[in-house]
Amino acid sequence: MDFSVLTYNTLFGNGQNALKKIFEKYKPDIVCLQEINTSKSSLKEVEKLGYTLADYSNAFIKFNQIYGVATFYNPHIFKVTFSNSISLPTGFFDILAYIVRIFKLGKKTRTVLESQFLHNKTENKVIITNVHFSPFGTNNIRLKQLRKTIKEIASYDNKPTIIAGDFNYAYGRKKLEECMYEFGFKEATNTIFSTVQGKISGQNFIEKLGSYIINKLFRDKWKMDYMFYKNCSVISSETLHSTFSDHLPILSRFKFDK
């Protein structure tokens, strides 16, 4: 029995405009969204598309709005049995931004979200960890955040486990791979070499210029989004077309080993 997982950084919610068509065409079973507005109205908009909210976790504040990660699922395929947010360690640049946010809008800590699902037909359990690691500083802080995440979900070592989302890990990927392999994870997205695009709908001149530069310099080699897995098998992974975010959605299909 196979199941599918979609991960998508929605660029401060803009990517929600693409979800209806994506859901209708690809029908993902579990959906991991990053940079989504975590207001009730925003989360309800996704649920109106036929998906149920498993949980959400706040990550940061921008434009006077709270953004974070949210995980949804198709209730005909899965049901959620447990969910928990994990607070992440911060680096120097995170701390500076954190201090500014406290003075402006209050305390918010970057987190990731772990959810346990039960497959309705097979009763197999699967752990989905929805991550959005720090965009600030070096890869060292992102590796610390990753290790903290993996150690928090270590109690699920014998269950199918997927870690999906925006790792913000665009260079020096050898250390990322070594870290994941150390904990028994394999990459489902190893055939995908770029997940960032230049062309985005609704950009102003400065944004278009920045997108043009990114497209020229980093096209086909700027990878920020990943899926890693253990205790199950990967069938396929692909990026999906969307111009509503600087990140491309990724859809991966897995199958239970038993």
pLDDT value of residue 200 = 60
Q: Residue 107: is its pLDDT beyond 60?
A: no
pTM: 0.88
Q: Which residue has the tokens 């960890």?
A: 129
**64-68, 130-134, 211-215 — which is least confidently predicted?**
211-215
Q: Please give the mean pLDDT across all residues of the chain.
A: 86
Tens of pLDDT, residue by residue over 149-172, are: 999 998 878 999 999 999 999 888
- Alpha-carbon gap, residue 72 to 257, rounded angstroms: 23
Which residues, listed in sequence order, are joined to residue 9 by a DSSP beta bridge? 34
List, in order of start, the domains of the chain with CATH numbers: 2-256 (3.60.10.10)
pLDDT band, residue 70 (cuts 50/70/90): very high
For the residues 41-70, what does the mean pLDDT come to? 92
Structure confidence at residue 220 as a pLDDT band (50, 70, 90): low
Backbone angles phi, psi at 179, to 5 degrees: -65, -45
Q: Give residue 10's identity as a one-letter amino acid code.
A: T
Q: Does residue 219 surpass a pLDDT of 70?
A: no
Structural contact between residues 5 and 29, judged by C-beta atoms closer than 8 angstroms: yes
pLDDT of residue 205: 55
- Type of residue at 98: Y
Output the six-digit token pair for 252. Answer: 């991966």
44: Cβ–Cβ under 8 A, 6 or more apart, which residues?
none
Q: Which of the two residues, 220 and 252, has the higher pLDDT score? A: 252
